[in-house]
Structure 1
Amino acid sequence: MMGFYGSPGMGWMWIFWILLIVGLVLLIILLVRLVGGGVSGRGTRATGGSRAREILAERYARGDLTAEEYREGLRTLDEAGE
């Protein structure tokens, strides 16, 4: 008389529940990254480079930079591979 908790199939049930929980955690992480615009597979350089260009363009539009300073900033970003 093993009862419900002593049945031979319980070992597989633990594996099932562990895999289910791990799968749900991975799914939540994936959804958070997709919705939140998380880091792409290339790392933060792709996001950082486009953001740097946005900041440069905003500063130029406000008049904080001259046309030459703006072009120099773009050249610097291109040389850095951003």
Structure 2
Amino acid sequence: MEKQILDLLITIQQDIKQIKTEMNTRFNAVVSKLEDIREHFELTNEARVKDVGFIEYKVNRLEKEIYLIKNSQ
């Protein structure tokens, strides 16, 4: 009887170790995907900031050109 209980406890311990390993593997995969998503958003945000700066520059230049055209007439 004690041998059976001990065997069951050993089996449960092995199962718990296996589950822990599987969970760590899955969590690592999730963390990796989340890091990829974060990096993607950072790159997208950086590109958007550059686009806004470029558009702002162009609008300012257009305003200057319109001002010059209006005042030269």
TM-score by length of 1: 0.45
Report the structure number with the largest CA radius of gyration. 2
Q: Which has the higher contact order (CA 8 A, sep 6+)?
A: 1
Structure that is richer in helix per residue:
2
